Amino acid sequence: MTIARPDHTSDLDTLPRMPAWVTSARAETFEDVAFLSGAALNHLHLVLGREEVPQALLRDRLALRAAETCVAFSGRSERAGELRDAVHLLRPGDLPGPAGETYLIWRRAVERPVSIKTLGRALSAFEPDRIARWLDAGKGGPVTRAALVLEAVLTEAPRAEMPALILADAALAQAFGWDHLVPLLAVGLKRADLRKQGVDLRLACHRALISSVVEAVRQASDLARRVTHLKVVAPKLRAKGAGDAVEMFLTRDAVTPSALPLPDRAARRLCDRLVDLGAVRELTGRDTFRLYGV
């Protein structure tokens, strides 16, 4: 018997979709919730292995979402657009402010392969030995490991919510054998969940991962389609340095024209051309200080 393979090459559906039963099932017991989160994570693992997924770009966009959540946890009101401005419009010598620093920390955590060195660079307020000790607290399956790391950090440092979430996602990545940290728990957990312990915290992590993984898979599929289109139109770009500029769009959530390897006027023209071709979007809606992204 020949089994038909799903077509993953369509412009409208470049990646396999999350099974409908993962998102529609109503799970009440710990076992059912854990089963659904495991299915969702397994699906994400397969998606992350697809070459058409722009890994660095996906991580950068998820880092923005995680930073937005952590900023809200701290009682601040900045949203994604303001976080982008705080980081991408920085001038030499400027400080990003508390919200911008939160975003920078998440970006540092995801941009290099996960390691104590990478985590120490992102979480510079903590000694590498302390970070390693917290990560060693994680035992068991992937979600259990992440929950134990989260609990260990918050037990010792109750106000270190963002470091705890970063290290929990690092533990999850290590458990799955992913090279880089993928922000997931910060996107799905509620602040009240961070005060839970034991089984209650593990259950909250399972529930959070179901929703955040579904969103990550949706983002991966959307970015894969957009990046495929950008690569198709790239040969039409005649400006010198256009190839290097396209590479920046393939890895960054947002780019300013001044950051591109072209003269200012040529960079602005290139961005306008890419918008006209439907390959990138202007992200701010402003006439000046614009940001562009896939």
Which residues, other chains included, contact 124 with Cβ-Cβ below 8 Å and sequence gap of 6+?
Answer: none
What pLDDT score does 184 carry? 98
The pLDDT, as a whole number, for residue 1 is 34
List all residues 6 or more positions away from 10 whose beta carbon is below 8 Å from its beta carbon. none
pLDDT value of position 15: 80
Nearest to 183 by CA among 156, 208, 154, 158: 208
Specify the pLDDT at position 163: 98
Annotated domain spans of the chain: 29-222, 237-293
Q: How many CA atoms lie within 13 A of 141 on its CB side?
A: 11
Contact at 8 Å (CB) between 121 and 108? yes
Mean pLDDT by 10 residues, the chain (294 residues): 38 72 85 95 96 96 97 94 95 91 98 97 97 95 97 96 98 97 96 96 97 96 95 89 94 96 94 96 95 97
User: Residue 76, exposed/middle/buried by CB under 10 A (0-12, 13-18, 19+)?
Assistant: middle
Global confidence as pTM:
0.91
Q: What topology is assigned to 237-293 in CATH?
A: Arc Repressor Mutant, subunit A (1.10.10)
**What pLDDT does 14 receive?**
63
**DSSP structure string for 34-45:** HHHHHHHHHHHH
